Amino acid sequence: MNNLKSSSNIISIEDIKKRYKIGNDTAYALVKERSFPAFKVGRRWNIIESDLEKWERERSKERIA
């Protein structure tokens, strides 16, 4: 069986918490935002890293404008 996480660069809520140095409540609020590139499979939230990087770039452009 393929390891989906390593082959698709899917990251978890735990990874998001570490990346942004935020707690549980903030992380779950973030993934529930419509603009945030997260999807749920069963009870687990997943984020494709390349989509997250694109979201970060777009968000940084918004803050500059």
Q: Render pLDDT for 4-56 as a digit per residue (tens, 0 to 9).
A: 544 469 999 999 999 999 999 999 999 999 999 999 999 999 999 999 999 99
- Note the pTM of the prediction, 2 decimals: 0.75
Q: Fill in the DSSP letter of residue 61.
A: H
Q: Look at residue 1 in the predicted model and tell me its pLDDT.
A: 45
User: How many folded domains does the chain comprise?
Assistant: 1
Question: Residue 45, exposed/middle/buried by CB under 10 A (0-12, 13-18, 19+)?
Answer: buried
Q: Fill in the DSSP letter of residue 10.
A: E
Query: Residue 57 sits in which domain range?
Result: 4-64
Evaluated on CA atoms 10, 46, 17, 5, the torsion sign reads negative
